[in-house]
Amino acid sequence: MYVRDKEGIAKRLKRLEGQIRGIAKMVEEDRYCIDILNQIEAAKGALDKVALLILEGHLKGCVKRAIKTGEEEPVIKELLEVLDKFIR
């Protein structure tokens, strides 16, 4: 894996863990559904941001290396497969 800011991603994931615990607490306390849904949406956004940072690293690392060595076909194929999941 090649990412610009591994520490930054670790911090985001730590914060996200806290968000998930926060959502669990809201459920436990029977908080208003819409407020819980908004927190779930915020957690999804945080996950998407981490995904984009990993994608950036992948493009600048593995994909770049594969293209430079002429072996990009399988690497692009698997990248499109994971993008298919994210986009749909």
* Contacts with 61 (C-beta within 8 Å, 6 or more apart), sequence order: 1, 2, 3
Residue that is written with structure tokens 């994909």 in the block: 63
Structure tokens at 78: 């698997």
Residue 74 in the binding site for its own copies (CB under 8 A): no
User: Residue 49: how many CA atoms within 13 Å on its side-chain side?
Assistant: 15
41 binds its own copies (CB under 8 A): yes
What is the distance between the alpha carbons of residues 22 and 7, in angstroms, rounded to a whole number? 23
CB of 17 to its own copies, least distance (A): 5
84 interacts with its own copies by CB under 8 A = yes
User: What residues make contact with its own copies under the rule CB under 8 A?
Assistant: 1-3, 6, 9-10, 13-14, 16-17, 20-21, 23-24, 27-28, 30-34, 36-38, 40-41, 43-45, 47-48, 50-52, 54-64, 67-68, 72, 76, 78-80, 82-88
